[in-house]
Amino acid sequence: MRPVRTALAGALLGTLLLAGCGQDGGTTTASAPTTAPASPSGDFPVTVEAGNGKVTIAKKPQRIVSLSATHTETLFAIGAGPQVVAVDDQSNHPPEAPKTDLSGFKPNVEAIVAQKPDLVIVSDDQDQVVAELGKVNVPVLLQPAATKLDEAYEEIAELGAATGNKAKADEVVAGMKTAIDGLAAQAPKDKQLTYYHELDTTPYAATSKTFIGQIYGLFGLTNIADKAPDAAGGYPKLSAEFVAQADPDLIFLADVKCCQQSKDTLAKRPGWKNLSAIENDQVIQLDDDIASRWGPRVVELAEAIGAAVSKAGTS
Amino acid sequence: MVTQAGPSRARPLWVVCALGVLAVSMIAALLDGAADISPWQVVLQVVDWLPFFQVDSGLAPVEQGLLFELRLPRVLVAAVVGGLLAMAGAGYQGVFRNPLADPYLLGAAAGAGLAATAAIVLLPATTGSIPVAAFLGAVGGVLLAYTLGNTAGRAGGTATLVLAGVAVTSFLTAIQTFVQQFKVEELQRIYSWILGDVGGGWDQLWLVLPYAAVSAVLLLLHGRMLDVLSVGDEEATSLGLRAGRVRLMVLLAASLATAAAVAVSGLIGFVGIVVPHVVRRIAGGSYRIVLPLSLIGGAAFLVLADLVARTVIAPAELPIGVVTMFVGAPFFVVVLRMTRRAAT
């Protein structure tokens, strides 16, 4: 758990100063307004607890660089879009995001610095990018991939605090919670449905320990990949014959955009054509991007899962 | 340096033994897997598939399907690919008179890797294009190395050829890495392909079989000539052998075998170098016995490696290339030590 520690200290200090001045007889008004939390930037400086420790941001950032597709989505959802000057080559949502050829996979520190950022957001500390940017005094926020829904919420709130959009971020989080809880509550859970979430044709799956697996868990679904030993990691390469024998009720494909997978291509795989999910038309094509990011569009993923569960529950 | 042939009358016996080992490996590989089916039911099901037999294995259609569509072809593809790689390794070692030569030496792996990566990155819609691309890439890599080796040095000079292979490998691998940087989201697929996989089903088997047959026949026919070649080019020529021509034929056949194996399975390391060595230690250095025994032994080795890959952390799988190296390397050292001790 990484609690948001918005430094309300500044505001508090301002109030104390005001109070102190007041005790002096209320004659001095000149010094007080400089620290008063009247303007929107009054929340700064702010200290955020990120993956790279406590990061203090002196004033509201105006030139944000995001090297993470998830965080780009979040920034635009919480109203920080106008502050974003550059996003990496994988950030494809929303369309108005200023996409560049910056790479989040192999970050080039010079190219990042050339954007004159006053805040850089990453989800991975590739090639010590955090330390490198630290050398040139560019504040970096490392917000690693969430493993739980609560972590995803926290990261959104933290991005809100760090960019001066706390109120909107809290609103987004509250909206997500309401929507996802509502969808999960509606799902019929008496059927004990099993599912298989495919990331790659090899086939790679995601277990319940992953972020995505936790979302499915909310809908009362049982993941066939959970039988894979811990040693295989949260994203085991499953045996095709195991998937065939497990015969999941629902198959969710997160390899639609990358690899054009569909019910038809699954049916053509050796030994899979008689799977009940294929015969009963319970193969769900997800949006690869939405199914791999832990930003605000998780709600859309939850909607897709919810719809599939209701359909399977009634058929 | 390879040692000369043992008594030739032992040859059929070795082949029979090796075939026995292969048969046991294949049966074991058919009996176990990630799906929880009892070996007895597998036996009944196999009997049921045989003509004129009808027995009830008690298996559901899905399970019958997975046995027939997944496990059986997988065992067969592993056998063919393992046999091809080991036989190609033996062939390269004979041509170069270098026991460290392996099927990937002449740029075959790098060419296949680059072409497969390009196919994954540029043609994501067609998964079927990867084997074709890998095949063309492997052939292209070898042709490039061969052309460079021949223009750079004296024609047929094997040392130059090997060095050209190293240069081509480095260069093509660099291009492959360069291409990967532009499609970060495909890294997983490229990585999976590089570590090898024999789970492609019957289609893959039909794809590889014709090439396997042609290259195996060609290589096996050249066993005696490789033996003659091993005494040195001048002696071979004085015995009436056209050394350059034999080299080229064996190179072509071994490269064809490598390309076919790579096309259906990705890059599976170590088989081509370890199996011929073990065979040589056990049955002597004559290529008339090393080539067929490598073919059979390589098949058995890869069938067992795949069995380990798909059962050791079932229902998850290990990439087969990891198993061949992880299990193969210590085994190799043990065989080296044992036979060395026996020899001294």
The length of chain A is 315
* pLDDT on residue A68: 95
Upper half-sphere CA count for residue B277 (Cβ side, 13 Å): 22
Task: Determine the residue among A103, A123, A239, A273 to mutate to test chain B binding: the one whose Cβ has the most chain B Cβ atoms within 10 Å.
Answer: A239
Indicate whether A33 pLDDT > 60.
no
- The 10 Å Cβ neighbour count of residue A126 is 14
B181–A103 CB contact, under 8 Å: yes
Domain boundary pick from A132, A152, A174: A174
Does residue A228 share a domain with residue A125? Answer: no
Q: What is the pLDDT of residues A104-145, one digit of tens each?
A: 888 889 899 999 999 999 999 888 899 989 888 899 999 999
Does residue A51 share a domain with residue A92? Answer: yes
Q: Which ipTM score applies to this complex?
A: 0.77
Question: 0.95 cut: is pTM over it?
Answer: no
Q: With bands split at pLDDT 50, 70 and 90, how would you rate the model's confidence at B126?
A: low
Does residue A106 share a domain with residue A144? Answer: yes
C-alpha B191/C-alpha B181 separation (Å) is 13
Mean pLDDT score of chain B, rounded to an integer? Answer: 86
* pLDDT on residue A196: 96
Does residue A201 share a domain with residue A223? Answer: yes
Quick one: which of B324, B339, B220 has its CA closest to B278? B339
Structure tokens at B164: 């050209």
Q: With bands split at pLDDT 50, 70 and 90, how would you rate the model's confidence at B10?
A: low
Mean pLDDT of B88-107: 86
Chain A, chain B: beta-carbon pairs less than 8 Å apart: 114
A233-292 residues touching B, CB cutoff 8 A? 236-247, 258-260, 269-275
C-alpha A56/C-alpha A54 separation (Å) is 7
Indicate whether B180 pLDDT > 80.
yes
Residue A28 lies in a domain: no
d(CA A127, nearest CA chain B) in Å: 14
Q: With bands split at pLDDT 50, 70 and 90, how would you rate the model's confidence at B157?
A: low
- Residues of chain A in contact with residue B35, where contact means CB-CB under 8 angstroms, are 239, 241-242, 244-245
Q: With bands split at pLDDT 50, 70 and 90, how would you rate the model's confidence at A8?
A: very low
**To the nearest 5 percent, what fractions of chain A are helix, strand and coil?**
45, 15, 40
**What are the backbone angles phi and psi of residue A104, rounded to the nearest 5°?**
-85, -15
Residue A13 lies in a domain: no
* pLDDT on residue A37: 42
Does residue A60 share a domain with residue A166? Answer: yes
Q: How many domains does chain A have?
A: 2
* pLDDT on residue A38: 42
Highest mean pLDDT among A259-268, B126-135, B188-197: A259-268
Q: With bands split at pLDDT 50, 70 and 90, how would you rate the model's confidence at A9?
A: very low
Q: Which domain holds residue A217?
A: 188-314
Does residue A225 share a domain with residue A163? Answer: no
Residue type, A106: K
Residue A158 lies in a domain: yes
Q: What is the pLDDT of residues B26-58, one digit of tens each?
A: 999 999 988 888 888 899 888 888 888 888 888
C-alpha B121/C-alpha A261 separation (Å) is 16
Instruction: Quote the DSSP letter at residue B71.
Output: I
Q: Are A271 and B65 in contact (CB under 8 A)?
A: yes
CATH number at residue A148: 3.40.50.1980
- Among the listed ranges A123-127, B108-112, B115-119, B236-240, which one has the minimum average pLDDT value? B236-240
Mean pLDDT of B140-148: 88
Does residue A162 share a domain with residue A107? Answer: yes
- Is pLDDT larger for residue B131 or for residue A144? A144
Q: With bands split at pLDDT 50, 70 and 90, how would you rate the model's confidence at A150?
A: very high
C-alpha A3/C-alpha A231 separation (Å) is 30
Does residue A165 share a domain with residue A215? Answer: no
Domain boundary pick from A143, A174, A205: A174
Residue type, B12: P
Does residue A236 share a domain with residue A167? Answer: no
Does residue A284 share a domain with residue A212? Answer: yes
Residue A245 lies in a domain: yes
- Is pLDDT larger for residue B89 or for residue B103? B89
Residue A41 lies in a domain: no
What single string gives the DSSP state of each residue in B176-244?
A: HHHHHTT-GGGHHHHHHHHH------HHHHHHHHHHHHHHHHHHHHTHHHHHHHTT-HHHHHHTT--HH
C-alpha A263/C-alpha A267 separation (Å) is 6
B34–A241 CB contact, under 8 Å: yes
Mean pLDDT of A98-104: 89
Does residue A233 share a domain with residue A162? Answer: no
Q: With bands split at pLDDT 50, 70 and 90, how would you rate the model's confidence at B3?
A: very low
* pLDDT on residue B341: 65
Sign of CA dihedral A32, A33, A37, A42: negative
- Among the listed ranges A296-310, B73-87, B156-170, B211-225, which one has the minimum average pLDDT value? B156-170
The domains located in chain B, with CATH, are: 75-335 (1.10.3470.10)
Does residue A130 share a domain with residue A158? Answer: yes
